[in-house]
């Protein structure tokens, strides 16, 4: 296989093979943009290296060939003492993993070539600075020397000189520092810093390969569900220098604001700096606009390049660039990460600009982002005064206790506390803490600092560059203007949309997007902002193209009404258990405790009108749309008192000589009904078979409510759903009863009722015998919560703490099967049931009513399987609508 591609040979479609960075560098080179020459070692080479634990055959030779070509293009050679070529070695996987993999700059410098670099550039200070950076980066990322060793030495050199920026260290100090760095390397590794440039190159390439399996990279992949087997590409490219004086510099740019989506010039620029200086936040950057004043020619060229890239990629791009003595170089681009708000606005803007279609616009946003937009925000009360304000890097309203290090953040979060991580700046080692924290605050760094980029990617609230804060991590406190001291454990509120940090807990208000869902905000009216308008247009388009219908799980008229406002087209699951609680508990107790049929019938008789009123109210809210009522599902003992409590009560009352007859009977019933595994016990259709009259009462109540409504000119569309069926015979028995009741109600009221009867598919046996079951069912609704439990054989209520963390860590599942549908197992059952059910009854209606119906990845799957609808909680209805639309475009 071809293990190395020149930039001139690649392109953005070779993402899998060249990684995002390499593919896009090649793409930019192809567009004629100024990219330094270079080549990319493929992800395939990385996979081979990781599998065999050594370089695949032919790799060194291929690198030599491409290096020779690079030397010709650059006009200088690696290791040439008079005029050395320097290169960077950069990782770049298929999915961007910000800050995860380490880049080494200035490869090719050694004691000999140093003089040549100084002579060519006429800048000895620069050459020495580049050398100390090489030893530092190489030492840390390739040789694994603790980074603080170098940082401490650098800090000490600065302190000794009495300066705070490394740009003010002179040649003499840098020479001393380089010697010191070399000693650090020797002491830590037992070997001198490698002087041979090709050795440096090969070691760096292997280090990038190895970094794929670094701890940080693994953590990030797990969190983002990126497969472990992809591997990273390695990019080798000629160095250009932003640290060659005041007419040089390096920066980051966005073609639109990644925070809000507004068009304009966004980015950060740092003069006389190299690579990581901008993103690390160790020095303060200037806004990109200022580059116009500093170097107008480069600025204009950059803006022109940005336009080229945006119309070529047809999306927001982010860019890394460097200016070397007035000459602009493009070092990286990719379709940029953005906040949820920006994603919606940009999608609609690009559609309006004619760059993309509305179908594509729908594909550019996702349900998680929509969910994030529904988060509450802080109330902008006049009394609330921020301690300090920084850069609004990632929106949201986070309230939590202040912590100063990643470890404490994770520990406190594990014990259920909400925390805000406060750092001077973050680096990849802080990732664990950033994941655990509700919000992140840094005192240094711009919109493109590590903290900002990572937080945006994760949807975590972040304010960065709050320069007025003096963060004392060791002392576990920070000081704000006016001497306010905030210690670890104090509560702060962080507004990622405005950049303000407040002391104490601020009240939060509803998001305008939720007000729009609720119908309180007209998306075309004056009060609606651009965001609400964008959400409205995207959702409308999703509704127009989607094939999956979206219904809601709603048990009360209030929920039904909300679901309808949120766009649900009916109720896919109306649970009835809560209708037997509260004041009605004694009635259901009487049903359970009845000694004779007459007693039981009497109790059911009393429940009937109440239940009828429940259904009438829900049918009224959902007039004209299907309402699927599930007959009683949970084990009966859930309606009786707790065994221990009741035993105590009976004993105490008995000893006082109080009347205990009723409680005694209750106790006997509780004992009789007690089950070791209630989840696998007397519930669902089994109850219907064992307790005479219970299901019939529910069916009668529902039918009477529907008949009444139809008689009054309404349009009730009731459906009756039998839970937990495993065998067709169960369904046939209950169904026959139900049909008798329906016929009776129809006869009495004179209203012809069309109420389909169907079943939930939530046992593997039901799925496997779906063809038979479809003979008796007019619809199936996959109860994916129970189906997941019964397929895996573990209970969702018990496992989460017990072993899920271990299972996730060890890769048994990528995500909890209760959150995202397990396609291989549970999905297989769904596919069997779908195929066999439809084969037996072509007009069989198929839906899903588990939690998965509101999960983006699962909705896409249900679309692919070809189900008719998903039914989720009212709040997730807009998310399901959007995801169903995305699945269809």
Q: Which residues bind ligand ADP (CB under 6 A)?
A: 36, 88, 90, 99, 103, 105, 237-240, 275-276, 320, 322, 331-332
C-beta closer to ligand ADP: residue 324 or 559: 324
> Cα–Cα distance between 10 and 228 in angstroms, integer?
24
| Nearest residue (beta carbon) to Mg ion | 786
Q: Considering CB distances under 5 to 8 angstroms, the limit depending on partner class, which of ligand ADP, Mg ion, none binds residue 331?
A: ligand ADP
Q: Considering CB distances under 5 to 8 angstroms, the limit depending on partner class, which of ligand ADP, Mg ion, none binds residue 783?
A: Mg ion
The alpha carbon dihedral of 77, 81, 83, 85 has a sign of positive
C-beta closer to ligand ADP: residue 260 or 332: 332
> Cα–Cα distance between 567 and 551 in angstroms, integer?
8
From 849, 852, 863, 872, the catalytic residue: 849
Q: Considering CB distances under 5 to 8 angstroms, the limit depending on partner class, which of ligand ADP, Mg ion, none binds residue 27?
A: none
102 lines the binding site for Mg ion (CB under 5 A): no
- Supply angle C-alpha 268, 258, 96, rounded to 5: 90
Of these, 166, 762, 822, 855, which contacts Mg ion (CB under 5 A)? 762
| Structure token digits, residue 463 | 């304010």
CA distances from 171 to 123, 152, 177, 609, 807 (A): 10, 19, 10, 92, 54
Beta carbon of residue 89, minimum distance to ligand ADP (angstroms, whole number): 8
Residue 569: which residues within 8 A CB-CB, separation 6 or more?
549, 550, 551, 625, 626, 869
Of these, 281, 718, 783, 847, which contacts Mg ion (CB under 5 A)? 783
Beta carbon of residue 511, minimum distance to ligand ADP (angstroms, whole number): 32
CA end-to-end distance (rounded Å), the chain: 36
851 lines the binding site for Mg ion (CB under 5 A): no
> Cα–Cα distance between 409 and 417 in angstroms, integer?
9
Q: Considering CB distances under 5 to 8 angstroms, the limit depending on partner class, which of ligand ADP, Mg ion, none binds residue 239?
A: ligand ADP
Beta carbon of residue 55, minimum distance to ligand ADP (angstroms, whole number): 21
Beta carbon of residue 276, minimum distance to ligand ADP (angstroms, whole number): 5
Candidates 188-196, 332-340, 480-488, 496-504 — which segment interacts with Mg ion by CB under 5 A? 332-340
Q: Considering CB distances under 5 to 8 angstroms, the limit depending on partner class, which of Mg ion, ligand ADP, none binds residue 240?
A: ligand ADP
CA distances from 595 to 590, 601, 603 (A): 9, 11, 12
> Cα–Cα distance between 486 and 675 in angstroms, integer?
53
| Nearest residue (beta carbon) to ligand ADP | 275
Beta carbon of residue 481, minimum distance to ligand ADP (angstroms, whole number): 32
Residue 66 a catalytic site member:
no
Q: How many CB atoms lie within 10 A of CB 105?
A: 23
Residue 486: which residues within 8 A CB-CB, separation 6 or more?
387, 402, 422, 477, 478, 479, 480, 492, 503
Candidates 285-293, 303-311, 545-553, 760-768 — which segment interacts with Mg ion by CB under 5 A? 760-768
Segment (H or E) for 254: strand 249-256
Beta carbon of residue 445, minimum distance to Mg ion (angstroms, whole number): 15
C-beta closer to ligand ADP: residue 38 or 523: 38
C-beta closer to ligand ADP: residue 94 or 700: 94
Residue 450 a catalytic site member:
yes
Q: Considering CB distances under 5 to 8 angstroms, the limit depending on partner class, which of ligand ADP, Mg ion, none binds residue 36?
A: ligand ADP
Q: Considering CB distances under 5 to 8 angstroms, the limit depending on partner class, which of Mg ion, ligand ADP, none binds residue 276?
A: ligand ADP
From 66, 450, 536, 637, the catalytic residue: 450
The alpha carbon dihedral of 570, 573, 576, 578 has a sign of negative
Q: Considering CB distances under 5 to 8 angstroms, the limit depending on partner class, which of ligand ADP, Mg ion, none binds residue 786?
A: Mg ion
704-737: b or e for each residue (b if 16 or more CB lie within 10 Å)?
bbbbbbbeeeeebbbbbbbbbbbebebbebbbeb
| Structure token digits, residue 759 | 């079943």
CA distances from 17 to 38, 93, 235, 238 (A): 16, 9, 12, 21
C-beta closer to ligand ADP: residue 268 or 868: 268
22 lines the binding site for Mg ion (CB under 5 A): no
Q: Considering CB distances under 5 to 8 angstroms, the limit depending on partner class, which of ligand ADP, Mg ion, none binds residue 322?
A: ligand ADP
Beta carbon of residue 723, minimum distance to Mg ion (angstroms, whole number): 6
Beta carbon of residue 322, minimum distance to ligand ADP (angstroms, whole number): 5
> Cα–Cα distance between 560 and 551 in angstroms, integer?
10
Q: Considering CB distances under 5 to 8 angstroms, the limit depending on partner class, which of ligand ADP, Mg ion, none binds residue 762?
A: Mg ion
C-beta closer to ligand ADP: residue 184 or 331: 331
Of these, 332, 493, 511, 698, which contacts Mg ion (CB under 5 A)? 332
C-beta closer to ligand ADP: residue 240 or 492: 240
C-beta closer to ligand ADP: residue 273 or 534: 273
C-beta closer to Mg ion: residue 102 or 621: 102
Of these, 341, 488, 495, 786, which contacts Mg ion (CB under 5 A)? 786
**Following DSSP, what letter does each residue of 446-488 receive, concatenated?**
-TTSHHHHHHHHHT-EEEE--TT-EEETTTTEEE-GGG-EEET
Residue keyed to tokens 């008949």: 707
**Following DSSP, what letter does each residue of 549-580 receive, concatenated?**
EEEEE--SHHHHHHHHHTT--SEEEE--GGGG
C-beta closer to ligand ADP: residue 180 or 277: 277
Q: Are 124 and 118 in contact (CB under 8 A)?
A: yes
Residues in the chain: 889
Q: Are 15 and 202 in contact (CB under 8 A)?
A: no
Residue 364: which residues within 8 A CB-CB, separation 6 or more?
315, 343, 346, 347, 350, 356
Q: Considering CB distances under 5 to 8 angstroms, the limit depending on partner class, which of ligand ADP, Mg ion, none binds residue 301?
A: none
C-beta closer to Mg ion: residue 280 or 749: 280
Candidates 230-238, 257-265, 317-325, 369-377 — which segment interacts with Mg ion by CB under 5 A? 317-325
Candidates 283-291, 419-427, 698-706, 775-783 — which segment interacts with Mg ion by CB under 5 A? 775-783
Give me the active site residues, please.
450, 849
- Residues near Mg ion (CB under 5 A) are 320, 332, 762, 783, 786
């Amino acid at each position: 296989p071809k293990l190395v591609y020149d930039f001139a040979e690649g392109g953005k479609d070779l993402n899998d093979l060249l990684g995002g960075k390499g593919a896009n560098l090649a793409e930019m080179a192809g567009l004629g943009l100024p990219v330094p020459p270079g080549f990319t070692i493929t992800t395939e080479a990385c996979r081979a290296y990781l599998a065999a634990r050594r370089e695949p055959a032919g790799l060194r030779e291929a690198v030599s060939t491409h290096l020779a070509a690079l030397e010709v293009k650059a006009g200088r050679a690696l290791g040439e003492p008079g005029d050395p070529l320097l290169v960077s070695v950069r990782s770049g996987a298929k999915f961007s993993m910000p800050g995860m993999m380490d880049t080494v700059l200035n490869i090719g410098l050694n004691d000999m070539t140093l003089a040549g670099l100084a002579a060519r550039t006429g800048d000895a200070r620069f050459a020495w600075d580049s050398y100390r950076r090489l030893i530092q980066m190489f030492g840390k990322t390739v040789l694994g020397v603790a980074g603080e060793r170098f940082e401490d030495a650098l800090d000490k050199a600065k302190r000794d000189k009495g300066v705070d920026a490394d740009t003010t260290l002179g040649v003499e100090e840098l020479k001393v520092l380089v010697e010191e760095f070399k000693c650090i390397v020797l002491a830590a590794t037992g070997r001198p810093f490698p002087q041979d440039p090709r050795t440096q190159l090969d070691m760096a390439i292997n280090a990038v390969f190895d970094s794929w399996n670094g701890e940080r990279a693994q953590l990030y992949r797990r969190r983002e569900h990126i497969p472990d087997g992809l591997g990273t590409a390695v990019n080798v490219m000629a160095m250009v220098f932003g640290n060659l004086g005041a007419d040089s510099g390096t920066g980051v740019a966005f073609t639109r604001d990644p925070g809000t989506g507004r068009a304009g010039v966004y980015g950060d620029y740092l003069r006389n700096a190299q690579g990581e200086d901008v993103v690390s936040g160790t020095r303060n950057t200037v806004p990109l606009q200022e580059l116009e004043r500093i170097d107008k020619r480069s600025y204009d060229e950059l803006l022109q390049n940005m336009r080229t890239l945006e119309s070529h990629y047809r999306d927001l791009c982010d860019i890394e660039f460097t200016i070397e003595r007035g000459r602009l170089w493009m070092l990286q681009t990719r379709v940029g990460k953005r906040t949820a708000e920006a994603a919606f606005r940009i999608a609609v803007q690009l559609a309006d600009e004619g760059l993309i279609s509305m179908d594509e616009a729908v594909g550019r946003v996702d349900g998680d982002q929509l969910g994030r937009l529904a988060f509450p925000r802080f109330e902008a009360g006049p009394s609330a005064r921020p301690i300090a304000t920084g850069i609004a890097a990632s929106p949201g309203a986070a309230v939590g206790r202040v912590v100063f290090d990643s470890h404490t953040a994770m520990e406190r979060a594990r014990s259920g506390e909400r925390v805000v991580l406060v750092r001077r700046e973050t680096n990849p080692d802080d990732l664990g803490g950033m994941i655990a924290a509700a919000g992140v605050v840094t005192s240094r760094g711009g919109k493109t600092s590590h903290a900002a980029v990572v937080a945006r990617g994760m949807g975590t609230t972040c304010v960065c560059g709050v320069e007025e804060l003096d963060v004392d991590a060791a002392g576990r406190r920070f000081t704000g203007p006016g001497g306010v001291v905030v210690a670890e454990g104090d509560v702060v509120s962080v507004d990622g949309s405005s950049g303000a940090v407040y002391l104490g807990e601020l009240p939060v208000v509803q998001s305008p997007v939720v007000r729009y869902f609720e119908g309180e905000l007209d998306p075309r009216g004056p009060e609606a902002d651009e965001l609400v308008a964008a959400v409205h247009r995207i959702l409308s388009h999703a509704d127009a193209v989607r094939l999956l219908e979206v219904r809601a799980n709603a048990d009360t008229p209030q929920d039904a009404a909300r679901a309808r406002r949120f766009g649900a087209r009916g109720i896919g699951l109306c649970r009835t258990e809560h209708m037997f609680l509260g004041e009605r508990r004694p009635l259901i107790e009487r049903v359970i405790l009845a000694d004779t049929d007459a007693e039981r019938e009497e109790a059911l008789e009393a429940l009937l009108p109440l239940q009828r009123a429940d259904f009438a109210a829900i049918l009224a809210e959902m007039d004209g749309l299907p309402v699927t009522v599930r007959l009683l599902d949970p084990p009966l003992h859930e309606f009786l008192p707790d065994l221990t409590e009741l035993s105590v009560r009976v004993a105490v009352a008995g000893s006082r000589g109080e009347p205990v007859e009723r409680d005694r009977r209750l106790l006997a019933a509780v004992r009789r009904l007690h089950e070791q595994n209630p989840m696998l016990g007397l519930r669902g259709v089994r109850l219907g078979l064992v307790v005479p009259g219970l299901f019939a009462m529910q069916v009668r109540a529902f039918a009477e409510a529907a008949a009444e409504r139809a008689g009054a000119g309404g349009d009730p569309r009731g459906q009756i759903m039998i839970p937990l069926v495993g065998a067709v015979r169960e369904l046939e028995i209950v169904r026959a009863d139900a049909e008798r009741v329906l016929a009776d109600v129809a006869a009495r009221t004179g209203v012809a009722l069309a109420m389909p009867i169907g079943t939930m598919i939530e046992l593997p046996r039901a799925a496997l015998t779906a063809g038979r079951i479809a003979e008796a069912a007019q619809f199936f609704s996959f109860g994916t919560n129970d189906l997941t439990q019964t397929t895996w054989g573990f209970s969702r209520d018990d496992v989460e703490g017990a072993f899920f963390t271990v299972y996730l860590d060890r890769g048994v599942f990528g995500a909890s099967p209760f959150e995202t549908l397990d396609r291989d197992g549970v999905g297989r059952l769904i596919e069997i049931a779908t195929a066999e059910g439809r084969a037996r009854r072509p007009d069989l209606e198929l839906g899903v009513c588990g939690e998965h119906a509101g999960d983006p990845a699962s909705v896409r799957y249900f679309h692919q399987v070809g189900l008719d609808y998903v039914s989720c909680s009212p709040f997730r209805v807009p998310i399901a609508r959007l995801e169903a639309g995305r699945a269809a475009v």
